[in-house]
Amino acid sequence: MPAPTSTNRKSRKFIYLLILLVLAGAGYYYWQHSAGQKPAGKATTAPQAGKPPAQGARAGARGGRNGSAAVATPVSVVPVMKKNLTVSVSGLGTVTAFNTVTVRSRVDGPIEKILFTEGQKVNEGDVLVQIDPRSFEVALQQALGSQAQNAALLANAKRDLQRYQTLFKQDSIARQQVDTQQSLVRQYEGQAQNDKAAVDDARLSLTYTTVRAPISGRLGLRTVDVGNLVSAGSTDGIVTITQVQPIAVVFSMPESWLPDVTGPLYKGEKLQVILRDRDNKLQLAEGELTSMDNAVDTTTGTVRLKATFANENETLFPNQFVNTELKVREVPDALVVMSDAIQNSSRGAYVYVVKEDNTVETRQIELGVVDSGYTQILKGLAEDEQVVSEGVDRLRNGAKVEIVK
C-alpha cells in the first residue's frame, strides 16, 4: 500500500477544522437563543411555533368555544286537549247476500222464452222464463172434464135420494134403499173433492210454466238457453238471484269483547258498524249490528257477528272482503294527545313535554283508548301542555328546543 502524501494530509486537516468550526457555531447559536427567550422572574415557556399547545391551553380553548349558549333543536309540538273518543273493535269481514235463491223449474218441459238479461236487477214476481204450457193446458182440460162428469153424477144421486126419502115417508120403499142412496151421494161428494183438487193441481202446474222471480235482487249468469229441456228434479237451476239491498256482512270479534257487546245488543241498543276497503282507507258504508253467533270458535277464540247495510248505491258486492269497525261505546271529554307524539321504551310510554323556558322533560304516561289518531291519557299529562310530535330523535331530557310551526 503506498504511503500518504503531504497533500492528502493537508486536505484531511482542513476538513476536520471545518467540521469543528460548524459545531462551535451551532453551539453558540443555541446558547444565545435560549438565553434570549427566558424573561426575568417566574415565567412559563410558551409553545414554539409548529408544536401543539399544552393540555391546559387546549382546555382553555374548548372552554372559550362552549361558553356561549347551546344551540336549540327545532321541533313541532301538539297540545294536550279534551276530545270525545269512541271505543271500537276492528275486524275482518265478508259481504254476504241477504238472500240467495237459485231459480229452478217446478215442472218438466222445453224452454219457450227467456225474458231476462244476465246481470239485470229484477223485482219479486217478474217473469223470467216461459216453459211450453201446452201439455199442462191439456191436463187441465182433462181434470175439468172429469170434474164436470162426476158433478153430474152427484146431482143425479142427490135427486134420487130426495125421491127415496119421500117414498120412505109414504112407506113405499124400504129403509135400506134410502140408506144405500145416501151412501152413493156421499161417495160422489168425495169424488167431487178429488176432482176439485185435480183441477187445482193441473191449474197450478200450468202456472208453473211461467217462471217468476221469487225475490227482488240482481241476476247472475243463466245456465240454460231457449229450447233446453228443464226438469223439476234438476239441481242446476236456471239462474241465481242475490238480494243486495239490504246486504249483510259477517265478521269476527275476539271473545274478550263479549261483555262490552252482548249487553247493549241484548238490550236492543243499536251498535254502529263501519266498513272500509281492503286497504282500510276508504269508507264504504255504515250499518248496524243485527245478530251474533251463539258460540265462540274455540280454534280462534273469536265469535261471529252479522251487520246489515242498506247498500243503496250497491257499493257492496257479495263475497267482497272488507275491514270492519264495531263502535262499542263513547268516552266523552277524554284527555287526549296525538298518537304520533307518544314514544315507547322499556319502562313504558312517555312523551317530551315543553316547559316555559323552552326546555323539554321526559314524562311517563298511562294510556287509554285509541281513536282516529288520538290516544287517551289516563295519567301523566294535563290539559293545554305542549308535547313534542316531531324532532324527538335529537332530544334529551333538559335539551333546549325551538318550536317550529
Q: How confident is the model at residue 391 (pLDDT cuts 50, 70, 90)?
A: confident
Q: How confident is the model at residue 330 (pLDDT cuts 50, 70, 90)?
A: confident
- The 3-class SS string of the chain reads CCCCCHHHHHHHHHHHHHHHHHHHHHHHHHHHHHHHHCCCCCCCCCCCCCCCCCHHHHHHHHHHHHCCCCCCEEEEEEECEEEEEEEEEEEEEEEEEEEEEEECCCCCEEEEEECCCCCCEECCCCEEEEECCHHHHHHHHHHHHHHHHHHHHHHHHHHHHHHHHHHHHCCCCCHHHHHHHHHHHHHHHHHHHHHHHHHHHHHHHHHHCEEECCCCEEECCCCCCCCCEECCCCCCCCEEEEEEEEEEEEEEEEHHHHHHHHHHHHCCCCCEEEEECCCCCCEEEEEEEEEECCCCECCCCEEEEEEEECCCCCCCCCCCEEEEEEEEEEEEEEEEEEHHHCEEECCEEEEEEECCCCEEEEEECEEEEEECCEEEEEECCCCCCEEEEECHHHCCCCCEEEECC
Question: Over the stretch 109-158, which tens digit does the pLDDT of each residue have?
Answer: 999 999 999 999 999 999 999 999 999 999 999 999 999 999 999 999 99
User: Taking 50 as the threshold, does the pLDDT of residue 68 lie above it?
Assistant: no
Q: Which residue has the higher pLDDT, 58 or 276?
A: 276
Whole-number percent of the chain with pLDDT over 70: 86
Averaged pLDDT, 92-114: 94
Q: How confident is the model at residue 61 (pLDDT cuts 50, 70, 90)?
A: very low
Which pLDDT does position 47 carry in this prediction? 40
**Confidence (pTM):** 0.61
User: Taking 60 as the threshold, does the pLDDT of residue 66 lie above it?
Assistant: no
Whole-number percent of the chain with pLDDT over 90: 63
Which pLDDT does position 18 carry in this prediction? 76
Which pLDDT does position 17 carry in this prediction? 75
Q: How confident is the model at residue 10 (pLDDT cuts 50, 70, 90)?
A: low
Averaged pLDDT, 15-22: 77
Averaged pLDDT, 24-47: 54
Averaged pLDDT, 159-184: 91
Q: How confident is the model at residue 268 (pLDDT cuts 50, 70, 90)?
A: confident
Question: Of 20-34, 129-143, 247-261, 274-288, which gets the smallest average pLDDT?
Answer: 20-34
Question: Over the stretch 46-56, which tens digit does the pLDDT of each residue have?
Answer: 344 334 444 44
Calculate the average pLDDT of the chain: 85
Output phi, psi for 146, to 5 deg. -60, -40
Question: Of 36-45, 116-125, 220-229, 340-349, which gets the smallest average pLDDT?
Answer: 36-45
Averaged pLDDT, 68-94: 86
Averaged pLDDT, 236-257: 93
